């Protein structure tokens, strides 16, 4: 089954927590703090795999979670960093933020791309020792890894895209100019998935041609096979519009030509500006003057016209030569540039969301990032409390309490920790 759109959740690993530990050794008095740092969490990377051609695997597995970094240990031993999670995707996959639609990465070369960055490991209590604070009983927790839902869209990497109504000969053409073996039959929509074929030009040169399943009027709105496959035209450097010039399906070739061009325009206005050649197929079924009449119509609109009989490879070489000449003048295949990420960097975690609610004179603070910090603080130790107070000030918790109307002497609740507010 050809699947070219999928939505999945990726979660990078959290960083390991720093350790609270003190050196203990015979004959060594007051050895001091020796808590090690936590390890980095694993990142989630996407890498192109030429052996994959669809996104079908992502229909069955929708969550990709990287491992968490190890916690620090005593003896200044740092925790082990977690390995990165590498997810293989078909070449040409565009990764977007599902919430905003912003492009995160375009996976089309062999270089892995970071989609979600692992959390940094927390500092052990070794970092907090000073001449006046020689026994810090607190450490920093690891920062959480980035988490987001992403939309995967496969956009085929092809130099030339064949477009046109069903049963006009697109599959026949690609089968005679390349080694592609599409299913060919005398009825509509025999091609249900895009087909790629490499057209050899000799001397190690070639280009990639894509047979896009037949379009009909209203395709941009989802009719027929609709825009399910129109997205695969977007990367093509140029288009070849195949028209049944004989009208063997009972349609007017001129009207067919105009309809398909309108569909491309409505789906993506940039496609209307893409270089296009027109191939009139099934010339052996035409009546006198029919081909020349259609030629005059097409050339009158500024397009080059090539009459062909794809079934017997008649006059196809002239079309291929024109395609080759045109490609030499065009820029490389379109690559989507990453846009700014929709989520904030993990380094800014301590400046995250803070919400304060008041009920029966008690001001409750909600800040998910604060819970991890509280796990590493010894509230029976004065120095640890001073550290925690500095976090509340620098992260904006105290300001949020003031804005909520909290006055001196009021009760503040932070995840079960209650204390009187002091200005």
Q: By the 8 A CB rule, do 78 and 121 touch?
A: yes
Per residue of the chain (423 residues), what is the pLDDT tens digit?
456 789 999 999 999 999 988 988 887 777 789 999 999 999 999 999 988 878 888 988 999 999 999 999 988 899 999 999 999 998 889 999 998 888 999 998 889 999 999 999 988 988 888 887 788 888 888 888 999 999 998 887 789 988 888 888 888 899 888 887 765 555 444 445 677 888 988 777 889 988 877 565 554 444 445 455 666 778 889 999 999 998 888 889 999 899 888 888 887 888 878 899 999 999 988 888 899 999 999 999 999 999 999 889 899 999 999 999 999 999 888 888 888 654 444 444 444 678 888 888 888 988 877 877 777 777 777 777 888 888 888 888 888 888 888 888 889 988 888 888 886
Q: By the 8 A CB rule, do 193 and 205 touch?
A: no
Please tell me the predicted confidence (pLDDT) of residue 307. Answer: 94
Please tell me the predicted confidence (pLDDT) of residue 66. Answer: 96
Q: By the 8 A CB rule, do 223 and 217 touch?
A: yes
Please tell me the predicted confidence (pLDDT) of residue 106. Answer: 92
Contacts of 200 (CB under 8 A, 6+ apart): 178, 206
Distances (CA, A) of 198 to 74, 174, 333, 421: 60, 9, 15, 72
Q: By the 8 A CB rule, do 72 and 139 touch?
A: yes
**Six-digit token pair at 322?**
């024109």
316 half-sphere exposure, CB direction, 13 A CA radius? 19
Comparing CA positions, the residue from 13, 24, 32 lying closest to residue 70 is 13
Residue 93 to residue 90: CA distance in whole angstroms = 6
Please tell me the predicted confidence (pLDDT) of residue 254. Answer: 93
Please tell me the predicted confidence (pLDDT) of residue 193. Answer: 66
Please tell me the predicted confidence (pLDDT) of residue 108. Answer: 87
Please tell me the predicted confidence (pLDDT) of residue 182. Answer: 64
Comparing CA positions, the residue from 15, 120, 124 lying closest to residue 75 is 124
Please tell me the predicted confidence (pLDDT) of residue 419. Answer: 85
């Amino acid at each position: 089954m050809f699947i070219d759109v999928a939505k999945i959740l990726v979660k990078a690993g959290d960083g390991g927590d720093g350790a609270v530990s003190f050196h203990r050794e015979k004959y060594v008095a007051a050895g001091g703090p020796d808590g090690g740092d936590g390890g980095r969490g694993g990142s989630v990377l996407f890498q192109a795999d030429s052996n994959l051609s669809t996104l079908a695997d992502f229909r069955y597995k929708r969550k990709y979670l990287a491992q968490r970094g190890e916690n620090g240990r005593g003896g200044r031993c740092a925790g082990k960093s977690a390995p990165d999670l590498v997810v293989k995707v078909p070449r040409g996959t565009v990764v977007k933020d599902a919430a905003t639609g912003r492009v995160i990465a375009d996976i089309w070369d062999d270089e892995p791309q970071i989609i979600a960055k692992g959390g940094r490991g927390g500092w052990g209590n070794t970092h907090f020792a000073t001449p006046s604070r020689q026994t810090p009983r607190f450490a920093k927790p690891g920062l959480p890894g980035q988490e987001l839902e992403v939309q995967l869209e496969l956009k085929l990497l092809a130099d030339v895209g064949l477009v046109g109504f069903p049963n006009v000969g697109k599959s026949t053409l690609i089968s005679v100019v390349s080694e592609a073996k599409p299913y060919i039959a005398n009825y509509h929509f025999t091609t249900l998935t895009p087909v790629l074929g490499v057209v050899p030009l000799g001397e190690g040169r070639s280009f990639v041609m894509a047979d896009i399943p037949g379009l009909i009027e209203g395709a941009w709105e989802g009719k027929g096979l609709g825009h399910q496959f129109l997205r695969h035209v977007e990367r093509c450097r140029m288009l070849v519009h195949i028209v049944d010039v004989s009208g063997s399906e009972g349609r007017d070739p001129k009207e067919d030509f105009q309809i398909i061009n309108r569909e491309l325009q409505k789906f993506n206005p940039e496609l209307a500006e893409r270089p296009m050649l027109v191939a009139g197929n099934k010339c052996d079924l035409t009546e006198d003057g029919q081909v020349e009449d259609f030629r005059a119509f097409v050339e009158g609109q500024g397009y080059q016209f090539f009459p062909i009989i794809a079934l017997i490879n008649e006059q196809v070489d002239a079309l291929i030569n024109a395609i080759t000449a045109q490609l030499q003048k065009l820029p490389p295949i379109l690559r989507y540039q990453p846009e700014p990420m929709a989520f904030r960097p993990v380094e800014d975690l301590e400046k995250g969301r803070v919400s304060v609610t008041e009920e029966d004179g008690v001001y409750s603070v909600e800040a998910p990032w604060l819970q991890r910090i509280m796990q590493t603080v010894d509230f029976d130790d004065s120095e640890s409390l001073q550290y925690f107070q500095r976090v509340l000030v620098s992260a904006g918790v105290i300001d949020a309490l003031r804005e909520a109307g909290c006055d001196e002497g009021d009760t503040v609740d932070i995840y079960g920790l209650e204390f009187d507010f002091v200005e």
